[in-house]
Amino acid sequence: MDTSRINAVHKMRQFIFICIVTGILFGQDSLYWFDMSTVRDPIPKTPKVLDKIFGTSQLDVLDSIKNARFTTQDGFRLQVFESSSVEEANRILRKFDRALPDSLYLVFEAPLYKIRYGNFVTKNQADATKETLAKKGYKNIWIVRSRIEQGRLSKDQKN
């Protein structure tokens, strides 16, 4: 082999190496950090009516929304479960409904159905309830920002 061809092969290897290293270094999204306390759940502009899931008619749902006397505010909830299966989410919701004494919410955020618990004004209140539930055996729970209903504050907050 002549030296010009060896140099060309060597430069090609260097180029490929640089491309791979650059792809690895700049392909990582874990270098981006953000403050979880500033993350907000999106607030839907219109109510979502899901007949196949809840088995209710749209008119009944709209009437119940009109008659609701709850105002909302920024707050926190505990997310206790998530699944892509609506059947599994409903089964777990019924299980939690028997075990937990407070408000449970089934939220659909594509592609997951999420079960959230409680209405907490402060993160400290949510954290205290999370610790209590962890002692009872509920392990995979995390705090999420959410719009909460002021008329339905968690039982811990009313005392």
pLDDT in tens, 12-23: 999 999 988 888
CATH 3.30.70.1070 for domain 49-158, yes or no, is yes
* DSSP string computed for 81-122: EEES-HHHHHHHHHHHHHH--S-EEEEEETTEEEEEEEEESS
User: Between the ranges 7-21, 37-51, 55-69, 89-103, where is the mean pLDDT highest?
Assistant: 7-21
pLDDT in tens, 92-151: 888 888 888 778 888 898 899 999 998 899 999 999 999 998 898 888 899 999 888 776
pTM: 0.52
User: What's the angle, vertex CA 111, arms to CA 129 and CA 35, rounded to 5?
Assistant: 50
Per-residue tokens: 100: 């937990």
